[in-house]
Amino acid sequence: MIPADVKLDTLGYFCPMPIILTSKKIKELVPGQVLEVASDDEGIKKDMPAWCETTGHEWVGLEEEPGAEKTIYKAYVKKA
């Protein structure tokens, strides 16, 4: 379990919504805080590290929670 300060639920949303919602949410955090982004779009596994690389925020990691219907991906980003 990766500890998070703020959580963002993007379940049910497709690309590019998780990234757009993340870019809006991250503004509410102070540097050093960790944001957890929950998504069921598998694209987030690659998209979130790429977003971090471009924006300069720190990529912390990813957790997968396999469910009966779909897997939930939790991406963790530390605000720079």
Would you tell me which residues interact with another protein (CB under 8 A)? 12-17, 19-20, 22-23, 50-51, 54-55
Annotation says 15 is catalytic: yes
Tokens matching residue 5 = 């300060």
Tokens matching residue 41 = 């779009």
Measured distance CA(32)–CA(80) in Å, rounded: 6
Minimum distance from CB of 16 to another protein (Å)? 4
Kindly give, in sequence order, each residue whose CB lies less than 8 Å from that of residue 13, ignoring residues fewer than 6 positions away: 21, 39, 41
Measured distance CA(56)–CA(74) in Å, rounded: 19
Of the two residues 57 and 74, which places its CB atom closer to another protein in the complex?
57
Write down the catalytic residue from 2, 11, 15, 20. 15
Minimum distance from CB of 50 to another protein (Å)? 8
Instruction: Write out the catalytic residue numbers.
Output: 15
